[in-house]
Amino acid sequence: MEQHLRGEYRAVASGGKLYSFLNAMQSAGICCRGQRCLGDTYQFRFYEKYRTAVEELAQQYGVTLQLTTRRTLRQFLHRYRFRFGIPLGLLLTGGLLFYGSNIVTEIDVIGNETATTAEITAILEECGVTRGRWIPSIDFSMCEHTLRAGVDELAWVGMRHTGNRLVVEVMERDPVPKMLEDRVPSNIVSAQDGQIVSVSIYCGQLMKLVGEPVQKGDLLVSGVVIDETGHLGIRHSLGSIIGQYEQTETFTCSYEQQLRTPTGETTPRKYLDIFTWHIPLGNKDDPYEDSIKTTGYSWFSLLGAELPIGIYRETYHEYRSKTLTLTPEEAKQNLEEQVQRYEDNFLDEVEILDKKTAVLETEDGIQWTVTYTLQGEIGVQQELFIQD
């Protein structure tokens, strides 16, 4: 290694006073390496710094000297000293490796069973933690607290990173057994303004009688019970309170409606993804005035290991909007369908006693205001808090 750093010459000496020349070099302290005698010639190597002294001794003793520069690391670097591509390439490679190891290229969620991975990653996106985020700038403590507060099922959250892979490890709390929930002290309060039709009380003290009007939030069944001996106790109220109440809903339908439909035309776009950098492989503009974009990745692999380099694909699906003009009869049919869907989805567990419809026609469309008279369960559980 030393000769690569200091420089070295190969020498072939012949003629003249050869042995006197050799003795003179030895007396001068010139270090000769790889010495060989071939016939009337003497071959050896010496460091570059001795060149002047060797040439002067050879001239003094009449020795013919042939010098050849030996290839060394020093000469290589000297030859390419004005070529900046090599050091620049090394610097860029080092910078790319440093950047790639400090950005998020993959988010793994482990330990979740009830909470979905999509739900957890959506909350992380709200915290700014997405693919391509600079890892040293992530506040792990804040993200962990936000996840615990945003997902009720999580009891513990830990975040760490291995290289450019962000690992979110979670632990879910054990669900509360239903038998314990049924023993929590509670009241039953009214969820509607109406009139009580019938009651069935299994546990608790009834506070309203059949036929009495009630308002939303009124106490119907109390969990605080006084027994025959005058002792005060708390219970989990159980019962069914059936009442009649009114509910008003408004449905509208315009004569002119914008209908947005797909045309079936699609245009793909490809990008080379290198550590979250997207390098376009062609045109990157949206080809349509109105479209929906879908994305996907195809990662390169090496020896079975997935690399953070791949192809990022965008597919644009064209949509077009057209104006749909309805006649009054078609608008009426549309409103009837809206009312039917509402009743099927939201009023399927109650009895519809009466239905009154108020019609308002304008130049732009029709509005129906439907007032329902309903009969059904109006009591809801409300936890009872006792101050120590």
Rounded CA gap, 236 and 383, in Å? 9
Q: Residue-wise pLDDT tens for the chain (388 aa)?
A: 444 556 778 888 888 888 888 888 888 888 887 788 877 788 888 887 888 888 888 888 888 888 887 766 666 666 666 666 777 888 888 887 787 778 888 889 998 888 889 899 999 988 888 888 888 888 999 999 999 988 888 889 999 988 888 999 999 888 766 655 667 888 999 999 999 999 998 888 888 889 899 999 999 998 888 777 777 788 888 889 999 999 999 999 999 988 889 998 999 999 998 877 888 888 888 888 889 999 888 888 888 777 778 899 999 999 999 888 999 999 999 999 999 999 999 999 999 999 999 999 988 899 999 999 999 999 998 887 766 5
| 128's tokens | 């700014």
| 267's tokens | 């245009």
Q: Identify the pLDDT of residue 386.
A: 66
Q: Identify the pLDDT of residue 165.
A: 85
Q: Identify the pLDDT of residue 378.
A: 93
Q: What is the DSSP letter of 72?
A: -
CA-nearest of 93, 107, 116 to 138 is 107
Does this model's pTM top 0.85? My answer is no
| 154's tokens | 């999580």
CA-nearest of 312, 298, 321 to 268 is 312
Rounded CA gap, 291 and 218, in Å? 52
Alpha helices per DSSP H over 9-80: 18-27, 51-60, 73-79
Q: Are the C-beta atoms of 2 and 72 separated by less than 8 Å?
A: no
Q: Which residues lie below 8 Å from residue 88, measured CB to CB, with a gap of 6+? A: none
Angle at 156 between CA 152 and CA 157, to 5 degrees: 100
Q: Identify the pLDDT of residue 178.
A: 61
CA-nearest of 130, 181, 123 to 151 is 123
CA-nearest of 187, 184, 159, 163 to 171 is 159
Residue type, 321: S
* CB neighbour burial string for 67-87, b if at least 16 within 10 angstroms, e if fewer: eeeeebeeeeeeeeeeeeeee
Q: Are the C-beta atoms of 306 and 164 separated by less than 8 Å?
A: no
Q: Are the C-beta atoms of 20 and 27 separated by less than 8 Å?
A: no
Please give the backbone phi and psi of residue 29, each rounded to the nearest 5 degrees, phi first: 75, 25
Query: How many C-beta atoms lie closer than 10 Å to residue 266's C-beta?
Result: 15
Q: Which residues lie below 8 Å from residue 101, measured CB to CB, with a gap of 6+? A: 163, 164
The kind and range of the H/E element at 71 are none
Rounded CA gap, 166 and 133, in Å? 10
DSSP letters, 240-272, are: EEEEEEEEEEEEEEESEEEEEEEEEEEEEEEEE
Rounded CA gap, 338 and 361, in Å? 17
Q: Identify the pLDDT of residue 244.
A: 95
CA distances from 293 to 2, 310, 315, 354 (A): 62, 19, 6, 47
Q: Are the C-beta atoms of 197 and 350 separated by less than 8 Å?
A: no
Q: What is the DSSP letter of 236?
A: B
